Chains A and B, each alone.
Chain A
Amino acid sequence: MADERKVCLSGTGVTKIYGFGRTRTLAVDHVDFKFYEGEVVSIVGESGSGKTTLAKMLLGLTSTTEGDIYFQGQKRDISTQKKRLEYWRNIQAIFQDPFSSYNIFNKIDAVLLDCIHMRGGRSFPRAKKIEMMTEACSFVNLKFDELTNKYPFELSGGQMQRLMIARIFLLMPKILIADEPTSMIDACSRATILDMLMGLRDEIGMTIIFITHDLGLAYYVSDSVYIMEHGKFVESGSADEVILHPKQAYTKRLISDVPKIYEEWDLSTV
């Protein structure tokens, strides 16, 4: 059966090497991947497995040492600033630490207005812009009236992360890379954030790539899961396949390390 889904982002032999000589570190080692449109993908690995480096390469924030990344079937070209901005209109990110994601000198209005301008809304009348911002904020359960004229640091961590999602709502990118979006937030707000991201996916049909070390989260949200160890994908497949019937020893170990509630948590394996 031919795969009818459209490939959104793919890569062949993507490699990143930091440093040279004695300090040469192979962070990402010839990985191949294919992410489909509208799919939720998780890349799971422990600290230092190269998952954030891979995310940065996908975003074009750092160069690849080797290998190619293809966006919608075409080789990605971000050689000039103009092309790079064009690319970023399609791919956006949410990072782990909401406290350092914002420019502390800009008010929340400026953050959201920037997004409208980026989508070509610079000439919209003021009322229309406010309407768009209000809509975006209400999507993430924030009230724009209360936020306007405030600075991002006046919000709590969970609110900041939701404001990030409001940005994504305005930008409507094709791909969203979420790098540990909930690891600094408590379990209760985590459910809210995940719900919103999933709602957004259904709303604008984007691809979401989760970078996480939380297998529970990966299992809950994703269609397919990639397990990363020392810069390589050691296992990949559908979420049910990988999490419930892991084949590789590394995946099995990662899963056994997560505390569970229905099964015994075996502490003797570390």
Chain B
Amino acid sequence: MGKTLLEVRELTTRYITRFGESVYAVDHVSLKVEEGKSLGIAGESGCGKSTLALSLMGYYFAPLHYMSGEIIIDGRNISGMKPDDVRKAILGKEIAYIPQAAMNALNPTQKVIRFVEDVIRAHDPSADKRAIYERACKLFETVGLPPQVLEKYPVELSGGMKQRTVIAISVLLSPKVLIADEPSSALDVTSQKMVIKMIKQLLHDGLVGSLIFITHELPLLYNVTDDIMVMYAGQIVEKGTAREAVFDPLHPYSKGLMGSIIVPEEGLREVKLTAIPGVPPNLKNPPSGCRFAERCKYVKPECIVMSVGLRNIEGGRAYRCIFSEKELREAYRNG
């Protein structure tokens, strides 16, 4: 078993709206990522995936607020640290974050290398220009980007190239955890493949310690990560290996997500896509019972009143449903 690089225990964060209402977008989430491993987070829009990514960094600013729980990066507890300290000591070095529109982070009026200098100087003000250039060149070469990119302006690069450049810059300081939030969903399939190849290579070469990958595209997640965690309405509803989560989902929500997969493979045309009806609940006043109850095909009266915890089953899997594993499989077999 590898070293645990990131451990999160019962993390809860909330948004506080203008009117003083609390929205619990991340609700008692626990997770663990080991060195060299990757974890995928799936779920539809508005399930708290991106808020979880922001919360994991420990860098909170209004309207997002920390409530409770612990974030431990490589043995160091960062929960409760001041945002300024987090920015100086954690971001970039320990945790790097790539948002969906990462490419917009590049300054259009400056060459890429200026941005690289900025990043390194923020952590090491005495760094020498020449040394920074050489370091960046070396990194770009290892990740398969031409070093000439450093001397270019962002407008001279294509979307996929910009995205890869930003990813390369974000791992300059060899972070222990890389959080990628939909890094490829604005790109076409070919550029997407290049981005994914690069991220996998970073992990393989040890340039990043571990990876957390967020997307709603399950086929992509299946191909990138070792484990998959499914989120719904701020909570984890299922945890398992990628293979288990895709081919043998237990929670009815994960099951529903799998029903909407579209891949250009034989047999797809015979399958009828099954969409999950309705929308995720409003987290201002979440349902008291199972949060998925009102959209669930297999709902029972007790689902609406009884809240359920995450059940651990053998093999390191977990799911949040009042039914037992056997009952669920039975229900899926009967359609």
Partner-B contacts on A (CB < 8 A): 46-47, 141, 156-158, 185-192, 194-195, 213-220, 239-240, 243-244, 253-255, 257-263, 265, 267, 269-270
Residues in B whose Cβ lies below 8 Å from that of A262: 263, 265
Please name all residues of chain A whose beta carbon is closer than 8 Å to the beta carbon of B265 when the two chains form the complex.
260-263
Known: A219-B269, A239-B269. A189 touches B189 (CB 8 A): no
Contact, CB under 8 Å: B262 / A216: yes
Q: How far does the alpha carbon of A159 sit from the alpha carbon of B196 in the complex, in Å?
A: 31
| Chain B: minimal CB distance from A163 (Å) | 15
Q: Indicate if the CB atoms of A254 and B275 lie closer than 8 Å.
A: no
Q: Which residues of B contact A192 (CB under 8 A)?
A: 275, 277
Bound CA span A257–B277, Å: 31
B147: A residues at CB distance < 8 A: none
| Of B68-76, B135-143, B213-221, B310-318, the one touching chain A | B213-221
Inter-subunit contact A188/B260 (CB<8 Å): yes
By the criterion CB–CB under 8 Å, are B269 and A187 in contact?
no
Whether A270 contacts B219 in the complex (CB less than 8 A), given A219-B268, A244-B266, comes out as no
B217 x A187 contact (CB < 8 A): yes
A259–B220 CB distance below 8 A:
yes
Chain A residue, CB-CB nearest to B256: A188
B182 to chain A, nearest CB (A): 10
* Chain B residues with CB under 8 A of A254: 189-190
Given pairs A187-B261, A188-B216, A213-B189, 20 additional interface contacts (CB within 8 A):
A47-B188, A186-B44, A187-B262, A188-B260, A190-B260, A194-B273, A195-B273, A216-B264, A219-B268, A220-B262, A254-B189, A258-B264, A259-B219, A259-B222, A260-B263, A260-B264, A261-B223, A261-B246, A261-B261, A267-B196
Name the A residues within 8 Å of B269 (CB-CB). Answer: 219-220, 239-240
Q: A156-B279, A189-B275, A261-B219 are in contact. Are A46 and B189 (CB under 8 A)?
A: yes
Smallest CB separation, A56 vs chain B (Å): 19
- A191 and B263 in contact, given A46-B188, A186-B44, A254-B189 (Cβ under 8 angstroms): no
Q: Which residues of A contact B197 (CB under 8 A)?
A: 267, 270
A-B contact pairs, 18 of them (CB 8 A): A46-B188, A186-B45, A186-B216, A188-B44, A190-B262, A191-B274, A194-B273, A195-B273, A216-B262, A216-B268, A217-B262, A220-B268, A254-B189, A255-B264, A257-B189, A259-B220, A260-B223, A261-B219
In the complex, chain A residues whose CB is within 8 Å of the CB of B256: 188
Number of A-B contacts (CB under 8 A): 118
Which residues of B does A touch, CB under 8 Å? 44-46, 159, 188-194, 196-197, 200, 216-220, 222-223, 246-247, 256-257, 259-266, 268-269, 273-277, 279
- Shortest distance from the beta carbon of A260 to any chain B beta carbon, whole Å: 5
CB proximity of A235 to chain B, nearest CB, Å: 14
What residues of A have a CB within 8 angstroms of the CB of B45 in the complex? 156-158, 185-186, 189
**Chain A to chain B: the 8 pairs with minimum beta-carbon distance, closest first:** A216-B262, A191-B275, A191-B260, A191-B273, A192-B275, A257-B189, A186-B216, A215-B264
Provide the residues of chain A in CB contact with B246, threshold 8 Å.
Answer: 261
Q: How far is the CA of A213 from the CA of B186 in the complex (A)?
A: 12
User: Do A259 and B263 touch across chains, with their CB atoms under 8 A apart?
Assistant: yes
Q: Which of A158, A244, A261, A265 has the most CB of B within 10 A?
A: A261
Name B257's contact: one of A187, A260, A269 (CB within 8 Å): A187
Question: In the complex, what residues of B have CB within 8 A of residue A191's CB?
Answer: 259-260, 262, 273-275
- Across the interface, do B223 and A259 meet the contact criterion of CB distance under 8 Å? yes
Bound Cα distance A47, B263 (Å): 19
- Chain A residues, CB < 8 A from B266: 244
Taking the nearest CB of chain B, how far is it from the CB of A131, in angstroms? Answer: 24
A220 touches B44 (CB 8 A): no
Q: Within 8 Å CB of A186, what residues of B?
A: 44-45, 216
State A214–B37 Cα separation when bound (angstroms). 29
CB neighbours of B191 from chain A (8 A): 47
Contact with B263, one of A240, A257, A258 (Cβ below 8 angstroms): A258
Query: Is the Cβ of B264 less than 8 Å from the Cβ of A187?
Result: no
- A208 to chain B minimum Cβ distance, whole angstroms, is 16
Q: Which residues of A contact B257 (CB under 8 A)?
A: 187-188
Q: Which residues of B contact A240 (CB under 8 A)?
A: 269
Contacts A244-B266, A259-B263; A267 near B200 (Cβ below 8 A): yes
Interfacial chain B residues near A220, Cβ < 8 Å: 262, 268-269, 273
Question: What B residues does A265 contact at CB under 8 A?
Answer: 223
When distances are taken between beta carbons in the complex, the residues of chain A under 8 Å from B190 are: 46, 253-254, 257, 270
How close is B230's CB to chain A, nearest CB, in angstroms? Answer: 12
Q: Within the assembled complex, what's the spacing in Å between the Cα atoms of A219 and B264? A: 6
Chain A residues within 8 Å of B275, by CB: 188-189, 191-192, 195
Name the residue in A141, A186, A244 with the highest tally of chain B Cβ atoms < 10 Å from its Cβ.
Answer: A186
Contact A243 B189, beta carbon cutoff 8 Å = no
Q: Closest CB-CB distance, B46 to chain A, in whole Å? A: 8
One of A47, A156, A215, A253 near B159 (C-beta < 8 A): A47
- Chain B's closest residue to A185 (CB) is B45
Q: Is the CB of B192 within 8 A of A257?
A: yes
A265 vs B222: C-alpha distance in the bound complex, in angstroms?
10
| Closest residue of B by beta carbon distance from A267 | B197
CB distance from B53 to the nearest CB of A (A): 16
- In the bound assembly, the distance between CA atoms of A257 and B260 in angstroms comes to 20
Alpha-carbon separation in the docked complex, A260 to B272 (Å): 18
